[in-house]
Amino acid sequence: MAISRSEVEHVAKLARLKFSQEEIEEFTVQLSKIIDYVNKLNELDTENVEPTAHIVPIYNVFREDEVKPSMDRDKILMNALYKENGCFKVPKIIE
Amino acid sequence: MIGLEVHAELLTESKIFCSCTTKFGGEPNTHVCPVCLGLPGTLPVLNKKVVEYAVRAGLALNCTIANFSKMDRKNYFYPDLPKAYQISQYDLPLCSNGYVEIEVDGKVKKIGIKRIHIEEDAGKLLHENTDGSLVDYNRAGVPLIEIVSEPDMSTPEEAYQYLTKLKSILEYTEVSDCKMQEGSLRVDTNVSVRPVGSTELGTKIELKNLNSFKAVQKALEYEIKRQVKVLEEGGTIVQETRRWNESKGITEPMRTKEEAHDYRYFPEPDLVPIIVTDEWKEEIRKSLPEMPHHKRERFIAEYGLPEYDAKIITSSKKMADFFEKCVLEYDSPKAVSNWLMGEFSRLMNETGKEIDEVPVTPQMLAKLLKLIDNGVISGSIAKTVFEEMFGTGKEPEVVVEEKGLKQIANENELREIIKKVIAENPKSVEDYKNGKEKAMGFLVGQVMKATKGKANPQLTNQILKEELSK
Amino acid sequence: MELYSLTIHELRELLKKREVSALEVTKSYLERIKEVEPKIDALVTITEDFALQKAKEADEKIKKGEDTALTGIPVIIKDNISTEGIKTTCSSKMLENYIPPYNATVVEKLLEEGVIILGKSNLDEFAMGSSTENSAFKTTKNPWDLSRVPGGSSGGSAAAIAADEAAFALGSDTGGSIRQPASLCGVVGMKPTYGLVSRYGLVAFASSLDQIGPFTKDVTDCAIVLNTIIGHDPKDSTSLKIDKPDYTSYLKEDIKGLRIGVAKEFFGEGIEEGVKETVQESIKVLQNLGAEIIDISIPYVEYALPAYYIIASAEASSNLARYDGIRYGHIAEKYEDLIDMYMVTRSEGFGKEVKRRIMLGTYALSSGYYDAYYKKALKVRTLIKNDFEKAFEKCDVIIGPTSPTVAFKIGERANDPLAMYLADIYTVSVNIAGLPGISIPCGLSDGLPVGLQIIGRHFEEGKILNVAYAFEQANKFNAKPQAIGVQDNEVRSSDWLRGPCRTFDREQNLL
């Protein structure tokens, strides 16, 4: 297996996903297959190759520092299920 | 060894990636748009001023400005982070390898600045509600610079001096207003101790919840003592984040998070690289205002201020600006500096106000000083007038008029009062005539008392002498 | 001839001459949708009231002589493109009830021209898939054979155009999501150069690869739509400032002397014989038109698919992290604490394929693996980009099949992620290199459409359109999908088509 069960569990936690034991099994098998497949890239020597993060080489795209009206709060909040006093509401957080 | 991480909010009008205002306060979620709310499909566009301000700070802090820089995503889940990633900079920050000079016990020490990078602020969580926490995204997307020092400070005092100097420079360059009470300046620190002579690095402890520079200093003092004690007792320091408890004056361990952070940084595909050309850099350098130490030297040379005065007046740019504007109207620099360091500073400390929050303008202070020179009021009455100006913002002549504080400079009027004082104090008159110079002071005091301080001092002296020699 | 079967340029003629009104056109399409939709399930939302209102506005515009190239033309928009006030679900349970308070830039551009939005089309959840089977709501069927997939992820848009449910549609293409379904459904689909069309409002899957593009009934229409949707957008930092060409000026039959590259790598393992033959015949057609056919090689292209799955999944894992139910979208009802709320919400809201990619992407970016996977993939991206640059020194465009197979059976690859990924083998390299590519129908194999892919240099959409147009004129593709008829009286009377934005789901068995 290219990836272990415990690694799958760790990655799930990082990604904030919850799986049943069966799903963990299934993902371990499937991800292992996919990782084996993508490991094909290791056939290539890329030692002296620069990575390409942006395919079109442009830079310095800015906006001017100008204030424009924000959106109506009703619209900002309209898709939230839990809200109170103009705020989004989440479970109590103890800091 | 002490290292500091300072987050400063930049003084731009709009947010870093959208056009919402950066104004502090405002009803919750009213400074929010689809972009800073991270709605699906929205994209960031970088505010040019953010880059300029960061470069400005970098230049003022003697940094190397990166020719090629980029934005990265820092991924973590928290309700105050709408996209579940913070757009920040990882391996290619805008500025690096700078330093700040501080003075400790009369000696100059360089504190290294490892890097300065730009990033977006998160929203705010409100906890007053009983059955849940509330999220306000007004602050989400306000531009920040994070200034990371080298662990070059060896005492809490040095940390304090570093922060004071850093704040002064950020204010000088006008990139941040550095108001800790509004959260526009935030400090985290990490500290480790090691036995003298040891070259091994100690375990780093991170300290949080530091709400003032004094708190930083006190927390560090406490933490160093604590760590030394643990080591002396043969214990080991556990790497952790501790919280400064201001009221108890101690640091306490914070709840340890169950998982180690893994921010999964990667280049932000929605933003293109930043290239700061030499031309752009020079343009920004030219826009830099005079730095504190240059200003100090100039104030000594140009205004003839003593070094002590020059240092205090230039410690804040706003104070220095105030001084120069005032001197323009009233050409006696030392008198102006005396007032700024004296009454002005005393009242600012008492009220906790910054100089730009005080209603007294440089022109008003100049007018007040002219009133003294012209004999309209005495120096001591001037303090009363100033206090009123400080509280109400009224012009000095208005205060003088309203409160009837004008000096009695009418010779006949004053002579009548003095004659009365002489008549009432035969003993002192006797003493004076017997050569006791002190008696003169007493009699002047009596005249002032009778006039509620309004008597012109020179005239009073002159008439008194005349009358006593009769 | 029914109105709904016409192309944009044909409809525009009629509208301009005032022989038909936009309202009549719109009603014709709404009728057609009513007829065929129960069979193909291409749409997630139908915006009938909104469409009728817009049609009236379009007619006003035409009356005043203020009409432009797309005024009064009905469109269907992939449901991962934001439409203000109209649900944008990404075919995910996560966004089942999400109504954006803003329009994507492309939608703004279309509305300004007076385009009529008929509805939103089905897709693989968050555009992850190649068959539209990964939709949380329904599986779209291929109008050529209802037991087969329409391709994906823009399967709804492709099927809708093949079935004449709109004059054109918008889709998005991250690894082939426009071209592959266009190929499988026998319509024209183009992925423009990365940065040509604004991504603002396109719900991000893989930001460095995503591009919006059109589905049309012919090449001319493709050029017409492109004219409207391209252009620099100050809201998208990766959108480029270029002089806007008139793409219709490239619609010429003359391709004499044009150098067309044929890469052997695009005819490799896994290609169906019928597809291969049809494409090879198409190459002959182009040769007969005077084009010079040049054998080329793009050796690193075989690494495009694994590189793609790393880059796309990594970006997706970050782009999809925002779905926590707090500000919008599905939220769990039962959970223990904050972390649990995130986990339950996300596990309930996302489907399997989405979770699989989030897992792969999170893994590829996680501490200790970044260099081995993500950075490595970005380096391979450089190799592939260089490969294409070298190839384009020898030729003006590159052609080959869009997909190694014709439409496959529903369910055939559903349980084998890797087999499904192979459907994009000829299309992903184009996204990796940010190039423009089109798929045009070039014939049938076993009664199912085969697509010809034409790839160009950055910003040379014009050249692609030139070749595509010349081919289309020489080799008219007149076949129509037979699996959906024009009869089907039994659904006529039903009133299931009411409301401004109705969402269909599996429970409502409309057939």
pLDDT in tens, B204-226: 889 988 988 999 999 999 999 99
Structural domain range at position A11? 5-43
The answer to the question of residue A94 being in a domain is no
Cα distances (angstroms) measured from residue A75 to each of A70, A80, A89, B28, B31 = 10, 10, 16, 13, 12
Q: Give the Cα separation of B445 and C105 in Å (integer).
A: 81
Structure-token pair, residue B117: 């990078």
pLDDT in tens, C228-285: 999 999 999 999 999 999 999 999 999 999 999 999 999 987 899 999 999 999 999 9
Work out whether the CA dihedral C304, C309, C311, C316 comes out positive or negative: positive
Residue C506: what pLDDT?
32
Q: What DSSP designation does C300 have?
A: G
Question: Which residue has 């395919």 as its token pair?
Answer: A55
Alpha helices in C116-270 (DSSP H): 155-162, 179-185, 219-229
Question: Which residue has 């551009």 as its token pair?
Answer: C109
User: Which site among C94, C194, C315, C318 would you substitute to test the B interface, given the most B Cβ atoms closer than 10 Å to its Cβ?
Assistant: C318
Residue B327 has pLDDT above 60, yes or no: yes
Q: Three-class SS of residue C270?
A: coil
Partner-chain contact A55 C344, CB within 8 Å: no
Q: What DSSP designation does B150 have?
A: -
Residue B323: what pLDDT?
95
The answer to the question of residue A38 being in a domain is yes
Q: Give the Cα separation of C404 and C272 in Å (integer).
A: 6
Residue B31 has pLDDT above 70, yes or no: yes
Q: B272-282: string of b/e by CB count within 10 Å (b at 16+)? A: bbbebeeeeee
What DSSP element (H or E) covers B286? helix B278-286
Residue B259: what pLDDT?
52
Query: What is the least distance, in Å, from the CA of C329 to any CA of chain A?
Result: 7
Residues B12 and B50 sit within 8 Å (Cβ to Cβ): yes
Q: Give the Cα separation of B433 and B415 in Å (integer).
A: 19
Q: Which of B131-135, B466-470, C416-420 has the lowest mean pLDDT?
A: B466-470
Residue B455: what pLDDT?
82
User: Which site among C311, C376, C389 would you substitute to test the A interface, given the most A Cβ atoms closer than 10 Å to its Cβ?
Assistant: C376
The answer to the question of residue A68 being in a domain is no
SS3 content of chain A, % helix, strand, coil (to 5): 40, 10, 50
Structure-token pair, residue B176: 């941040």
Residue C485: what pLDDT?
63
Structural domain range at position B359? 290-403
Partner-chain contact A63 B19, CB within 8 Å: yes
Residue C177 bears catalytic tag: yes
Residue C403 bears catalytic tag: no
Work out whether the CA dihedral C13, C453, C458, B88 comes out positive or negative: positive
**Chain B: residue whose CA lies nearest to A58:** B272
Query: What is the least distance, in Å, from the CA of B271 to any CA of chain C?
Result: 6
Residue C62 has pLDDT above 80, yes or no: yes
Question: pLDDT confidence of A27, banded at 50, 70, 90?
Answer: very high
Residue C338 has pLDDT above 50, yes or no: yes
Whether residues B83 and B33 share a domain: the answer is: yes
Q: What percent of chain C has pLDDT over 90?
A: 90
Tally the residues of chain A: 95
Partner-chain contact A65 B264, CB within 8 Å: no
CATH number at residue B439: 1.10.10.410
Residue B313: what pLDDT?
92
Residue whose C-alpha is closest to residue B151's, from B299, B294, B32, B1: B1
Q: What percent of chain C has pLDDT over 70?
A: 95
Residue C495 has pLDDT above 60, yes or no: no
Whether residues B311 and B448 share a domain: the answer is: no
Residue C465 has pLDDT above 90, yes or no: yes
Q: Give the Cα separation of C424 and C151 in Å (integer).
A: 10
Residue C488: what pLDDT?
39
Partner-chain contact B133 A89, CB within 8 Å: yes
Question: pLDDT confidence of A47, banded at 50, 70, 90?
Answer: very high
E strands present in B140-280: 143-149, 185-191, 205-210, 240-245, 250-253, 266-267, 274-275
Q: Say if C369 is an interface residue toward chain A (CB within 8 Å).
A: no
Residue C452 has pLDDT above 90, yes or no: yes
Residue C408 has pLDDT above 90, yes or no: yes
Average pLDDT over residues C424-447: 96
Q: Give the Cα separation of B29 and B35 in Å (integer).
A: 13
Q: Which residue has the higher pLDDT, C58 or B458?
A: C58
Residue A92: what pLDDT?
87
Residue whose C-alpha is closest to residue B168's, from B60, B316, B289, B11: B316
Question: Which residue has 């049809």 as its token pair?
Answer: C278
**Closest partner CB to C385 (pick from A17, A46, A55):** A55
Average pLDDT over residues B3-32: 96
Total count of domains within chain B: 3
What's the ipTM? 0.97
Q: In the sheet where B85-88 sits, what is the strand order?
A: B85-88, B72-75, B266-267
Q: Which amino acid is at C496?
A: W
Q: Give the Cα separation of A8 and A14 in Å (integer).
A: 10
Total count of domains within chain A: 1
Residue C38 has pLDDT above 50, yes or no: yes
- Domain stops at, among B282, B315, B337: B282
The answer to the question of residue A12 being in a domain is yes
Question: pLDDT confidence of A95, banded at 50, 70, 90?
Answer: low
Alpha helices in C320-407 (DSSP H): 338-349, 352-365, 376-394
Whether residues B144 and B275 share a domain: the answer is: yes
Question: Which residue has 């009769």 as its token pair?
Answer: B470
The answer to the question of residue B253 being in a domain is no
User: Which site among C125, C197, C200, C431 would you substitute to test the B interface, given the most B Cβ atoms closer than 10 Å to its Cβ?
Assistant: C200
Average pLDDT over residues B354-368: 91
pLDDT in tens, B416-448: 888 888 888 888 888 888 888 788 888 888 888
Query: What is the least distance, in Å, from the CA of A38 to any CA of chain C?
Result: 5
Q: What are phi and psi of B107, to 5 degrees?
A: -105, 145
Whether residues B424 and B372 share a domain: the answer is: no
Partner-chain contact B28 A86, CB within 8 Å: yes
CATH number at residue A28: 1.10.20.60
> What's the gap between Cα B158 and its chain centre?
17
CA angle at residue B11 from B7 to B12, to 5 degrees? 120
Whether residues B368 and B393 share a domain: the answer is: yes
Residue C499: what pLDDT?
31
pLDDT in tens, C348-365: 999 999 999 999 999 999
Q: B89-116: string of b/e by CB count within 10 Å (b at 16+)? A: bbebbbbbebbbebeeeeeebebbbbbb
Residue C498: what pLDDT?
31
Strand pairing category for B185-191 and B2-9: antiparallel
Partner-chain contact A60 B274, CB within 8 Å: yes
Residue C119: what pLDDT?
98
Q: Three-class SS of residue B110?
A: strand
Environment class of residue A74 by beta-carbon count within 10 Å: exposed (0-12), middle (13-18) or buried (19+)?
A: exposed
Whether residues B24 and B138 share a domain: the answer is: yes
Partner-chain contact B269 C100, CB within 8 Å: no
Q: Which of B328-337, B353-362, C129-138, C269-278 has the lowest mean pLDDT?
A: B353-362
Residue B201: what pLDDT?
72
Residue C500: what pLDDT?
33
Q: Three-class SS of residue C511?
A: coil
Query: What is the least distance, in Å, from the CA of A8 to any CA of chain B?
Result: 15
Whether residues B16 and B156 share a domain: the answer is: yes
Residue B316: what pLDDT?
85
Residue C326 has pLDDT above 60, yes or no: yes
Residue C153 bears catalytic tag: yes
Residue C489 has pLDDT above 70, yes or no: no
Cα distances (angstroms) measured from residue B142 to each of A54, B47, B138 = 26, 11, 8
Q: Three-class SS of residue C65?
A: coil
The answer to the question of residue B60 being in a domain is yes
Tally the residues of chain B: 470
pLDDT in tens, C132-173: 999 999 999 999 999 999 999 999 999 999 999 999 999 999
Question: pLDDT confidence of B268, banded at 50, 70, 90?
Answer: very high
> Does CATH place domain C3-265+276-296+390-487 in 3.90.1300.10?
yes
Question: pLDDT confidence of B2, banded at 50, 70, 90?
Answer: very high
